[in-house]
Homo-oligomer: A and B are copies of this chain.
Amino acid sequence: MTIKIIIADDHQLFIDGIKSILSKSLDIETIGEANNGLQVLKLLEEGLLPDVILTDIRMPIMDGVTLTKTVSKDYPNLKILALSMFDQTVDVIEMLDAGAKGYVTKNVDKTELDTAIHTIVKGDYFFSANLPEDIKDWFHKENNIANNQLLTKRETEILQLIVKGRTSLQMAKHLKLSKYTVDTHRKNIHKKLGIKSNTGLVNYALKHL
């Protein structure tokens, strides 16, 4: 059975290189290519039926994250494999959140790319070996939120002040508490929601409160 893929990258030379490499794989066939995310969507709308989309992240007109979100929503059977120079955890997690099933960096060898494609087609996730170990935390985070830990009344109140941009000291004065108390509530909010940054909390609150 042939695995049909589309390659999206703004560097045509890179696309050609990957096509050449994959042409040596007996069961992988490149059926399309694009230089930005929007071109991929057009190919899909015209009826092209790939199994896997290999996509760069940083592309003009529509980047890989936006493409992944759209494809995951509109074509849920399609698998997305990110192929990118970015190797930070935050980059990987952003693609996972968008719906990607795998992530490899552009410095892996052809064997690993081959393995990646086969792995995600099989239904598993795949990450190249050079990526940080803490990507695994993403799966644990899913579990924490599944446990549905609700914020207490006070925690919700603090979160609302966080969204307004208040500092801990300002909140403490507002609520007639010690700054230490506010910081403890903040710490508990971070822990309950599995979110590490203030900005992450703001974005969460805007979506859920």
Task: Give A residues with C-beta under 8 Å from B.
Answer: 86, 88, 90-91, 94, 162-167, 170, 173-174, 197-200, 202-203, 206
- What residues of chain B lie closer than 8 Å to A90, measured between beta carbons? 164-166, 170
Instruction: Decide: B165 and A199 in contact? CB cutoff 8 A.
Output: yes
Residues of B within 8 A of A94 (CB): 164
- Whether B173 contacts A88 by the Cβ 8 Å rule is yes
A174 and B206 within 8 A (CB): no
Is A197 a contact partner of B91 (Cβ separation < 8 A)?
Answer: no
Residues in B with CB closer than 8 Å to A174 are: 86, 88, 91
Is there contact, CB below 8 Å, between B165 and A203?
yes
* Minimal beta-carbon separation of A169 from chain B (angstroms): 9
In Å, the complex CA distance between A206 and B203 comes to 10
Query: Within the complex, what minimum Cβ distance (angstroms) separates A34 from chain B?
Result: 23
Please tell me which one of the listed residues B88, B164, B165, B199 contacts residue A163 in the complex, with CB atoms under 8 A apart: B199
